[in-house]
Structure 1
Amino acid sequence: MDIPWVFYLVRFIDIALALVVAGLAVWAFVDCLTKAPVQFQRAFKRTKGFWLALTGGSLAFTVFTLLLRPSLFVLLIAGTAVGVYLADVRPAVGLESKGPNSW
């Protein structure tokens, strides 16, 4: 029994997932670039350089993987690192940018 459409479906899902992770990585990297280093210290998070390296590395690995062949393992690692930044660090650092008396 020949079912080549399954391979095309799996390839399409891998590419779609890689594009989503790449988009999130671009968003996280650009957001991290716009923040001041002191905001990370005030929020008691790792340094700006650490998060730039982590989000930039995730972006680089995702794009590199997308150009060759999407690897689910690499995408899960990159997506987790970017997700931690977007879900935990970005809100904490964003609160520090508004100042102590703003709501």
Structure 2
Amino acid sequence: MDGVLITGFFSVVALISWALFLFAVFAFVDAAIRREDAYRAADKNTKPFWLLILGIAAVVMKLFSILSFLPVIGLIAVIVYMVDVRPAVREVAGRGGRGPRRRNRGSSSDGPYGPYNG
């Protein structure tokens, strides 16, 4: 009976470890597709810095069990990227990260204070 509980526990831990690894890989790929100048414009660290940190986090999450402290440090780095850096870079570069957002400029008859109805 004890073997079933231990096996079940470690299978749940293995699933959580895989989910966290995939989360780190997603963050790494997201950081890789963003433009370099968007990181500078958002006043965040450079793109190579985040690629290095997120790459190390993904490797650590794959190699070590979630029960040790190294994957927890990697998870913190991934969460910082996803919660702080990613939204700032997306806001600067636009949703796709390929260019600035286009404003809705309205009609060609709009003046500086709104529509011209003259």
The TM-score, its normalising length taken from structure 2, stands at: 0.74
- RMSD across aligned C-alpha pairs, in angstroms? 1.7
SS in 2 for 1:50: helix
Once residues 56 and 102 of structure 1 are traced to their aligned partners in structure 2, the CA distance between those partners, rounded to angstroms, is 35
Residue 77 of structure 1 deviates from its aligned partner by 1.5
- Percent identical pairs in the alignment equals 28
Identify the residue that residue 87 of structure 2 maps to in structure 1: 91
Segments of structure 1 that go 5 or more residues without pairing to the other structure are none
Once residues 5 and 15 of structure 1 are traced to their aligned partners in structure 2, the CA distance between those partners, rounded to angstroms, is 15
Identify the residue that residue 21 of structure 2 maps to in structure 1: 22
Once residues 34 and 101 of structure 1 are traced to their aligned partners in structure 2, the CA distance between those partners, rounded to angstroms, is 20
Identify the residue that residue 4 of structure 1 maps to in structure 2: 3
Segments of structure 2 that go 5 or more residues without pairing to the other structure are 95-99, 105-118
Identify the residue that residue 74 of structure 2 maps to in structure 1: 78
Give runs of ≥4 in structure 1 deviating > 6 Å.
none
For residues 55 and 6 of structure 1, do their structure 2 counterparts lie closer, same or farther at Cα, with a shift above 3 Å needed? same
Higher relative contact order, chain-length normalized (CA < 8 Å, sep 6+)? 1
Once residues 30 and 60 of structure 1 are traced to their aligned partners in structure 2, the CA distance between those partners, rounded to angstroms, is 14
Q: Report the count of equivalent residues.
A: 98
